[in-house]
Amino acid sequence: MATMTDSATNAKPAFSASYWRGLMLVALVLGVAWINLTRLSQEANAQNRTLYAPMTGFLAPDFTLSTTDGEQIRLSALRDTPVVVNFWATWCPPCRAEMPALERLWQQYDRGSLMVLGVDQGESAQVVEQFGRATVGTTFPLLLDSRLRVGALYGVRALPTTFFIDAQGRIQDIKIGGPLNIATLLEGAAKIVDD
Amino acid sequence: MLPVLTVAGLTIPTGPLALLLAYYVGTELGARALGRLAPRPGARQTHWQTAFANASLLALAAGLIGARLGYAVRFSSLYWQSPLLLLSPRPGALLPLPGLLAAGAAGMLFLARKDIGLWAIADATTVGVAGALVVFNLGRFLTGAAYGLPTELPWAVELWGVRRHPVQLYEAAALIVVVAFLWQRLPRAQTGETFWRFVVLDGVSVLVLDAFHATSPTWILGIRIPQVMALAALLAGLYVLSFYARRAETPTATGDPQPVSAPSR
């Protein structure tokens, strides 16, 4: 007797076909209402477009730093120009190794149609000048982040770290680690330079 | 936010690490699920599990190749200049959609050649994908990707000076529940039913939780595209499940319920 009862119970599915069809109607009504209720407002959308954060898709946080020549460079003043920001230090072997590739990138884009900024982390102008200009022969601007303030703003936890920022000031790619070769740099540059 | 991990002096980006972990979890869960679906335990079960693990490895390779080729087509002028870039080990130069298509096709073809039914593959892959998505969402939480709307709730997390919904954690938690449910029901499910259950449950999850995302792609009037797609998937899933219910309602000659594991597995 017990077996027959079990069998009869098992023969029925937990929910009937009409139950699922009814659930479809409920899901449709509730789903449409929920979608309408949770639409993304234009203000929220606009707010997202104007967020500054060190992440791909966001506007690059602004900074002003001095070059080794004493000139002040402000990132936001470079709007309309794609920018490659490379965080580095002379004591970091991969940073040293990728310096010639960054110089080639700078040369390839006519020393300015794509801006290359080398942001040194915490060293003196003399040390940076000696390595950058005398040893490697770089000609692109080398900036001094002596208090590591900009490094912290960009969440830099490893050197080198390279940000590719388009002409609208939006970060399009971040490459953590190195040394980057010229091909990899060109690949990043392709994302921020309009053909 | 923890975009990079520093382990023994090595700096590892969290995003790719989470993807690798997601792949491992997905493969393990999928293989075990397929083993549970094998018609007979023993050698057949082991054979199916091994086949799934091999298929996922093949899918990974095909996916990477497809994603890199897709990327190369998109930036064709650059790759014509430097063809060796195709072999660059950097994970950034990949296009997801061609990669997913190549991975799916390669994995399916491999398993189909092993005489494993299409719906059994779909059921097992569904469980694996759901598990992988749990890890994927945890990775997104650590990297700050797909962040949430501002909120003052006590469990909000601060991101760039604003307290926000940890929406990636909501999604991971929802998927854990989905995986547990699918896993528990797996042996008693009809062929393909696990797949459609996932479509329904994930549809509900996306429909509800996408509302807390700050950056969903939208249509006119701010309608969130993922929610519309999730609702469509949810309705399609419920419709198909009604047929499963009808099939189960139909008694067999012996009065027993319909077989839950079809012989075609």
User: Both tokens of residue B217?
Assistant: 């792609």
Lowest mean pLDDT among A51-60, A93-102, B105-114, B124-133: A51-60
pLDDT digits (tens, 9 = 90+) for A87-122: 999 988 889 999 999 999 999 987 778 999 999 999
Determine, yes or no, domain membership for B254.
no
Identify the burial level of B171 via C-beta atoms within 10 angstroms of its C-beta, where 0-12 means exposed, 13-18 middle and 19 or more buried.
Answer: buried
Contact across the interface for A35 and B218, Cβ inside 8 Å: no
CA separation, residue A48 to residues A52, B149, B213 (Å): 9, 10, 11
Beta-carbon separation of B249 and A186 below 8 A: no
**Over pLDDT 90: what percentage of chain A?**
48
- Give the closest of A10, A24, A158 to B11, CB-based: A158
Q: Please answer whether residues B263 and B40 qualify as being in contact, where contact means their C-beta atoms are separated by less than 8 angstroms.
A: no
CA distance A183 to B8: 30
> Is B112 part of any domain?
yes
Q: Per the domain annotation, does B261 fall within a domain?
A: no
DSSP label at A65?
A: E
A142 phi and psi, to 5 degrees?
-110, 120
Question: Could you give the maximum distance between any two Cα atoms of chain B, in Å?
Answer: 71
Domain assignment of residue B262, yes or no: no
CB contact set of B113 (below 8 Å; sequence gap of 6+): none
Picking from A17, A35, A173, the nearest residue to B224 by CB comes out as A35
In whole angstroms, give the CA distance from residue B122 to residue B30.
10
- Picking from B98, B119, B145, the residue at the C-terminal end of a domain is B145
| B72 and B187 share one domain | no
Residue B252 belongs to some domain of the structure: no
CA distance to A24, B55, B191, B203, per residue, from B104 (Å): 29, 10, 20, 21
- CA B167, CA B209: separation in Å to the nearest integer? 7
Check whether residue B2 and residue B128 sit in a common domain.
yes
Angle at B98 between CA B97 and CA B104, to 5 degrees: 90
C-alpha separations of A32 from A35, B224, B228 in Å: 5, 11, 8
Comparing B247 with A68, the larger pLDDT belongs to: A68
Q: What percent of chain B has pLDDT over 90?
A: 54
Residues B65 and B174 in one domain: no
Residues of A in Cβ contact (< 8 Å) with B232 = none
User: Does B166 lie in the same domain as B105?
Assistant: no
Buried b (16+ CB within 10 A) or exposed e, B35-67: bbbbeeeeeebebbbebbebbbebbbebbebbb
B220 shares a domain with B95? no
Both B67 and B124 in one domain: the answer is yes
Q: Is B253 within the bounds of a domain?
A: no
Q: Would residue B61 count as lying in a domain?
A: yes
Q: Which domains does chain A show, CATH number per domain?
A: 2-37 (no CATH), 51-190 (3.40.30.10)
Interface touch B234/A155, C-beta < 8 Å: no
Closest CA of chain A from B192, distance in Å: 16
Q: Which of B82, B111, B145 is the last residue of a domain?
A: B145
Beta strands A83-88; A64-67: pairing state: unpaired
- Considering the domain architecture, whether residues B121 and B212 belong to the same structural domain is answered as no
- Predicted ipTM of the assembly: 0.82
How high does pLDDT run on average in chain A?
Answer: 86
Structural domain for B139, as ranges: 1-145
Q: Specify whether B102 is located in the same domain as B1.
A: yes
Phi-psi domain of B150 (left: phi exceeds 0; alpha: psi -120 through 50; beta: other): beta
CB-CB neighbors (< 8 A) of A176 in chain B:
3-4, 11, 13
Contact between B235 and A24 using a beta-carbon 8 Å cutoff? yes
Kindly report the pTM of this predicted structure.
0.76
Q: Nearest residue of B to residue A45 by CA position?
A: B215
Q: What is the pLDDT of residue A128?
A: 94
Q: Do B245 and A13 touch (CB under 8 A)?
A: yes
On chain A, the residues whose CB falls within 8 A of the CB of B223 are: 35-36, 39
Are B123 and B169 part of one and the same domain?
no
Beta carbons of B75 and A12 less than 8 Å apart: no
Closest by Cβ to B228, choosing from A23, A35, A48? A35
Q: Is the pLDDT of residue B259 over 60?
A: no
Mean pLDDT value of segment B235-255: 79
Tell me, what amino acid is at A64? T
pLDDT confidence band for B73 (50 / 70 / 90):
confident
Asked if B209 and B103 sit in the same domain, the reply is no
**Closest approach of chain A CAs to the CA of B53, in angstroms?**
31
Does residue B150 lie in a domain region? no
Q: B87 and B51: one domain? A: yes
Q: Which of B116, B145, B174 is the last residue of a domain?
A: B145
Q: Which of B155, B176, B181 is nearest to B167 (CA)?
A: B155
At A54, list the tokens: 């060190």
Give residues with Cβ within 8 angstroms of B136, minimum separation 6: B18, B19, B22
Task: Assess whether B213 and B140 both reside in one domain.
Answer: no
Helix ranges (H only) for chain A are 2-11, 17-37, 42-49, 93-108, 125-129, 149-153, 182-190
Mutate which of B17, B94, B199, B215 to test chain A, going by most A C-beta atoms within 10 A? B215
Mean pLDDT of chain B: 86
Question: How many independent structural domains does chain B possess?
Answer: 2
* Chain B: residue whose CA lies nearest to A179: B90
Q: Which residues of A touch B3 (CB under 8 A)?
A: 155, 157, 176
